[in-house]
Amino acid sequence: MKLEYTDKQNAFRAEIRGWLDANVPKEPLKSFDTEEGFEQHRQWEKTLFEGRWSAVTWPQALGGRGADLIEWLIFEEEYWRAGAPLRVNQNGVFLLAPTLMEYGTEEQKKKFLPRMASGEDIWAQGWSEPGAGSDMAAIRSTAKVDGDEYVINGQKTWSTRAVYADWLFGLFRCEAGSQRHKGLCFILLPLDTPGITIRPIQQLNGLPGFAEIFFDDVRVPIANRIGGDGDGWSIAMATAGFERGLMLRSPGRFQRTAADLVKLYKKHEDRVAADPAIRDAVMRSWMDAEAYTLATYKTASSLMKGGKIGAEASTNKIFWSELDLLMHETAMSILGARAELLPHVPATSPLDQDLDQWLDAFLFAQAGPIYAGTNEIQRNIIAERMLGLPRA
């Protein structure tokens, strides 16, 4: 054990800090669940790419920096510290890219990765269906071979950012009559292909943050399949592992929120002191965000020595999503009667003071225990696969 950054790591931190200082937009971007905001975020991805910061863990040749996991953590810490925009292409860069690197052909990598890194292609994820949520193996959308193409029919749902995204990666039943985990294919398709209809779904905040996607004889080349015929499930599980585990929920995000919460508490301490539960929750928020960070550094370090992530990825998902809820519920308690207000930006009255984005983030925190595999499912996985308890 040696809990010190190397000179090289410190230099890396200084470099990204400097770049972010100079480049992070001074005015916050609009929500990427609006058309205008989406394009602003796409532009930001391009800016990141031009600085070679859009995909730091990728090889140099693909526009990355070949960063290892510790450098990646440093990048994320600086990113959240700087309050840089949310990553509109996180489905691509953090989920699909690792999958492509592992299972894609050279041709596929060449075709998809550079355009992903530059924000030219923004990706959506198409796994869930009306009848296949927690039970993802119940997928019914089909991909039937016709010559050198698949003909896709069926429906996906809850596809995040699909309203404005360019491409979709999804799982489709490519073997007629196959059941459950068998006979599924992992297929990539452009969302403007004829036969695709996208119906936006409004989320709690009223914005169309996800969508239903209908497929009516949609044709895509078989060459758009990742991995082998019928191997879709195991490839998707690898992708899900990236989502639940390390890549998507970097500790920086929660450390930033916890630090902001401490600031908010201190500003309102005189008023809220009468509710000691608030103070307790603020302290716990900081402690849990630190614990999450430490656990992540520990995992990253052992991965770098050749270790693997297993069922403990499920513990991650529970820990960060419950922490996120705790922090935002606590912020609501501190804001008290003003917490329900949609903030005016810029402020039009003292009522707006400190409202920031707490309410919107509180709503989003409600989704954390649901998406990327619900916390109930994660608890089942922990109990059965990690703890070895008997199955129900």
Partner 1 sequence: MDFTFDAQQNQFRDAVRSFLVVEAAPERLREYWETPTGRSAEMRKKITDQGITSLSVPEAYGGLGMGDVDWVQILEQVGYHGIPDSLAEAAYLGVAILNALPDEHEAIKKKWLERMVAGQARLAIGHPINPLVHDAEIADLILLWHNDELHATTPDKVKTTQRDSIDASRRLYEVEWTPSDETRVLTADQAAPIWAEAVDRAALAAAAQLVGLAQCMLDLSIDYAAQRKQFGKPVGSFQAIKHHLANVAVQIEFAAPVVYRAADAVANNHPRRAALVSHAKLATGRAARLSARNGIQSHGAMGYTWEADLQMYMKRAWALDAYWGDSVFHKARVAEFIFADDAPLGPGETFTA
Ligand X SMILES: Cc1cc2nc3c(=O)[nH]c(=O)nc-3n(C[C@H](O)[C@H](O)[C@H](O)COP(=O)(O)OP(=O)(O)OC[C@H]3O[C@@H](n4cnc5c(N)ncnc54)[C@H](O)[C@@H]3O)c2cc1C
Decide whether 19 or 371 has the Cβ nearer to ligand X. 371
8 Å CB contact between 160 and 91 = yes
Stretch of 59-67, 101-109, 205-213, 288-296 lying at the interface with partner 1 (CB under 8 A): 205-213
Nearest to 315 by CA among 363, 256, 385: 385
Pairing between strand 225-226 and 149-160?
unpaired
CB 224, min distance to partner 1, A:
26
202 scored as a contact of partner 1 (CB under 8 A): yes
Question: Does residue 176 belong to the site contacting partner 1 (CB under 8 A)?
Answer: no
The amino acid occupying position 329 is E
| Contacting residues toward ligand X, per CB under 6 A | 125-128, 133-134, 158-160, 210, 367, 370-371, 373-374, 376-377, 380
Pairing between strand 149-160 and 142-146? antiparallel
Under rule CB under 8 A, residue 201 binds partner 1: yes
Which partner, partner 1, ligand X, none, binds residue 125 by CB below 5 to 8 Å per kind? ligand X
From residue 263 to residue 282, the character string flagging contacts with partner 1 as x (rule: CB under 8 A) and all else as - is --------xx-xx-xx----
Cα angle 249-343-76, degrees, rounded to a multiple of 5: 20
Q: Which is nearer to partner 1, 7 or 270 (CB)?
A: 270
Long-range contacts of 198-205 (CB under 8 A, 24+ apart): 198/162, 198/163, 200/163, 201/157, 201/158, 203/33, 203/363, 203/367, 204/363, 204/366, 205/360, 205/363, 205/364
In the block, residue with structure tokens 């863990």 = 57
- Verify binding: residue 374, partner 1, rule CB under 8 A: yes
Q: Which does 25 bind (CB under 5 to 8 A by kind): partner 1, ligand X, none?
A: none
**Residue from the set 40, 99, 118, 128 that interacts with partner 1 by CB under 8 A:** 128
Cis peptide before 194 (omega within 30 of 0): no
Q: Return the range that interacts with partner 1 (CB under 8 A); candidates 37-45, 146-154, 224-232, 360-368.
A: 360-368
Please give the positions annotated as active site. 243
Q: How open is the CA angle 115-54-303, to the nearest 5 degrees?
A: 110
Q: List the single partner that 159 binds among partner 1, ligand X, none, CB under 5 to 8 Å by kind.
A: ligand X
